[in-house]
Amino acid sequence: MSTHLIERTRAFSLSNTTGAGAINISDNGGSFDVRLDPPLLIPRNAINPILSLRKATVWWSTPNVISGVNDTFSISAPNTADIITAYTVTLDEGLYSIDALNISIQESLATQGAKVSPEPVVIVDADYTTNRSILYLPYVGTTVDFSVDRNFARRLGFDETPLPTTIAVDTVYTSQSTANVAPTEHYLVSCSLVDDGILIGNNRRNIIARVQIDVPSNSQITYEPFRPIELACARLAGNTIDTLSLQLRGDDLSIARTGGEPWTADIIVSWNELVRV
């Protein structure tokens, strides 16, 4: 009789949708649990239990404008009769680029009767050399009020104060700080099965992967590393695991909003056993 080292594996294909078996899905879609059937059982004498994330898909749709939080733009500007009029734009929740933000604001103001010719009353643009945003106000007497509740001044890099009323045509205001339009620089995936996880700053939070954002907004990211990171999960040995938890986090470690889109994770748990044959 001889002893052989045998590798055992268990694969999990997971998603934050009820159709894929997800339960306890958070309101923002970034966190969920899965009941394992059959449960995951790693023998007490297992050698080197490890976990790796082989593939993940995530929609780059985490909103930077959130309803009831930072969805409001307030401006006093000429209407089609050249009378200064107060307008409030309430944006739909979503992930906006500077261009998309500019278009949405202009469309709302036009619908409300703001002047559109020869130019719209405000143009939102960006100075990509300094990463600051720009407001172009073509008409005299225009005021943008960034002090109103639920404003998105900070995303654009402006202070939350009213801008001075324009006294000259073609006035340009540049943001005081760099714009921070992206709600996160990358995503982090965390899983309850690992012992510690990847160190991010001074935190681990059971993080099993960093997913870089390498697609345009509102597109799907596919994370499929050539060499997946292998993480210890020795504490699972000798225990029966019937539930696991997954979280999608932003770079600040908060649970990410998914914008109603699904995200997936393909995980492999493996270990070695000494078997006599």
Residue 187 predicted with pLDDT over 90: yes
> Is 67 part of a structural domain of the chain?
no
Q: Which domain holds residue 37?
A: 3-62+183-276
Q: Are residues 120 and 191 in the same domain?
A: no
Residue 246 predicted with pLDDT over 70: yes
CB 140 within 8 A of CB 168: yes
Q: Are residues 80 and 48 in the same domain?
A: no
CB 49 within 8 A of CB 269: yes
* Other residues' Cβ atoms within 10 Å of the Cβ of residue 143: 16
> Is 11 part of a structural domain of the chain?
yes
Q: Are residues 118 and 160 in the same domain?
A: yes
The model's confidence at residue 196, banded by pLDDT at 50, 70 and 90, is confident
> Is 25 part of a structural domain of the chain?
yes
- Based on the structure, what is the number of domains in the chain? 2
Question: What is the domain-level CATH number for residue 29?
Answer: 2.60.120.1100
Determine the pLDDT at residue 204: 75
Give the distance from CA 272 to its chain's centroid.
Answer: 37
The DSSP call for residue 244 is E
d(CA 125, CA 133): 6
Determine the pLDDT at residue 237: 92
CB 154 within 8 A of CB 180: yes
124-140: string of b/e by CB count within 10 Å (b at 16+)? bebeeeeebbbbbbbbe
| Residue at a domain's end among 149, 174, 199 | 174
| Residue at a domain's end among 148, 174, 200 | 174
Instruction: Give the pTM.
Output: 0.86
Residue 92 predicted with pLDDT over 70: yes
d(CA 174, CA 243): 51
| Residue at a domain's end among 174, 196, 225 | 174
Determine the pLDDT at residue 199: 85
Q: How far is CA 249 from CA 93, 188, 200, 246, 262, in A?
A: 19, 5, 12, 10, 14
Q: Are residues 82 and 57 in the same domain?
A: no
Q: Are residues 58 and 89 in the same domain?
A: no
d(CA 154, CA 130): 16
Q: Are residues 197 and 252 in the same domain?
A: yes
> Is 21 part of a structural domain of the chain?
yes
The model's confidence at residue 261, banded by pLDDT at 50, 70 and 90, is very high
CB 85 within 8 A of CB 77: yes
